[in-house]
Amino acid sequence: MLNIALFGPPGAGKGTQSEFLIKKFNLFYISTGDLLRKELANETKLGLQAKSIIAKGGLVSDEIIVQIIEKTIKNNPDVNGFLFDGFPRTFVQAYILEGLMIKLGTKLDLLISIEVPENESVKRLLERAKTSGRLDDNEEVIRNRLREYHVKTLPVLDFFKERGNYTAINGVQPIADVTNDIVKIINDVLSKKLINIVIFGYPGSGRGSLGKALAQKYNLEFVATGAMLDEEIKKNSKIGQQVKELYETGQLVPDEIVIRLLEQKIENSKGVKGFIFKGYPRTLVQSYILDGMLRKHDSSINKIFDIQVDTLELIRRLDKRSKTDKAMPYDSSTERIVQRLEEHKTKTIPVIEKYKEIHDVSVIDGTPPFEQVFEQMCKEIESSFKNLATG
């Protein structure tokens, strides 16, 4: 996800640049004024609350505004990100936006400020006044608006300067040059973003084979916790000895062991574009662990697949696999297969439901042949990450 706040004084050309960025990067445009008018027109619960406040001559509170923004973000899971125009306007709203982004498992990647000297802004707005028909487009009013912008905006800009995601653009140059500078900055940010994909699906849905193929195609690191544990056993490491003992006694491997292995994997995978996680997270607890682990590395989950296959087809596939060298421990009997399927239903389905609230979860029909399912997943990935090159 790419989240940008676009700033600039009146006359800086934000409208022109916004239109371009929305189309190029598939962003959803968030203007608090537009969103509020929509809520009022539709007479939603939040709209009616705002209407009551406005009717009494009051200003709509930040509490209502942030709820409208949160609802808008959740209702648009298919976009690549959001372009904020006119928000945050104050130091307080900057903190509000940061908290909202954390809650939604993402962050504001860039605050781009199109900077134009006051006299240039005045010149542009007076020129625009000749055709706009706006009665307030005179020099005195324009300069008052510019002063108000700078007084309110400076604390917001300082807030994001401290966080290292503020960038200033020379807005006096030709429009095309401003656009090129903005695109260059955005592409630089995108090139540094890790692509983290989680593949969910019942045992037998093809998660492993598909995950490995996608990792190879897009130069991503494939992470399968089961394979990592098996590797530790083969190496006869201290962790491997612990895991082997747990396996032999029929116990589950505790999260603290898996966390250590995942941390090592992420730390040692320098220079990769991102990760494909298969078999993790399996539980709600593990989902919080993974979210926290990725945030520690200034990253997050970007894409989630849920591969769905009919239950009878799953059992048929798992029974067939049990007769090959790819058999898993739970393939040994129908009873154990059913037990593993039930475990996914009770423990992992709630994880998928949790992610649906804050992420773009792509449901994939895993019944067709491998090549067909793989092609569909590739289309989904390339739609979500338009600048992703194959490995």
pLDDT digits (tens, 9 = 90+) for 29-67: 999 889 999 999 999 999 999 999 888 888 889 999 999
Residue 330's pLDDT is 57
- How high is the pLDDT of residue 388? 58
Domain boundaries of the chain, sorted by first residue = 2-192, 195-384
Task: Flag whether pLDDT at 109 surpasses 60.
Answer: yes
- pLDDT at position 387 is 55
Q: What pLDDT, in 10s, does the model give residues 256-271?
A: 999 999 999 988 887 7
pLDDT of residue 136: 62
> Contact, 304 vs 197, CB < 8 A?
yes
d(CA 337, CA 340): 5
Supply the CATH classification number for the domain 2-192.
Answer: 3.40.50.300
Instruction: Report the interhelical angle of 349-356 vs 284-296 (nearest 10°).
Output: 50
Give residue 216's pLDDT band: very low, low, confident or very high (50, 70, 90).
very high
Q: Flag the least confident range among 37-41, 121-125, 381-385.
A: 381-385
Residue 107 banded pLDDT, cuts 50, 70, 90:
confident
What's the rounded mean pLDDT across residues 159-179?
95
Residues 6 or more apart in contact with residue 307 via CB below 8 angstroms:
199, 200, 201, 205, 206, 207, 210, 364, 366, 373
Token pair of 260 as six digits: 């250590």
Contact 72, 65 (CB under 8 A): no
Count of CB atoms situated within 10 Å of the CB of 10: 17
Q: Quick check: 122 and 142 in contact, CB under 8 A? A: yes
Whether the predicted pLDDT of 292 surpasses 60: yes
Is the model's pLDDT at 26 over the cut of 80?
yes
Separation CA 89–CA 193 (nearest Å): 27
For 123-137, the DSSP string reads HHHHHHHHHH--TT-
Task: Give whole-number Cα distances, 383 to 24, 75, 78, 380, in Å.
Answer: 12, 19, 10, 5
Quote the pLDDT of residue 110: 94
Write down the pLDDT at residue 67. Answer: 93
d(CA 217, CA 221): 11
- Note the pLDDT tens digit of each residue in 219-267: 999 999 988 998 999 999 999 999 988 887 767 789 999 999 999 998 8
DSSP state, 1? -
Q: Kindly state which CATH superfamily the domain 195-384 is placed in.
A: P-loop containing nucleotide triphosphate hydrolases (3.40.50.300)
Q: What is the mean pLDDT of residues 333-351?
A: 84
pLDDT of residue 207: 94
Helix (H, G, I), strand (E, B) or coil at 361: strand
* pLDDT number for residue 306: 95
Q: What percentage of the chain carries pLDDT values higher than 70?
A: 95
Q: How confident is the model at residue 384 (pLDDT cuts 50, 70, 90)?
A: confident
- Of the ranges 57-66, 107-116, 207-216, 331-340, which one carries the lowest mean pLDDT score? 331-340
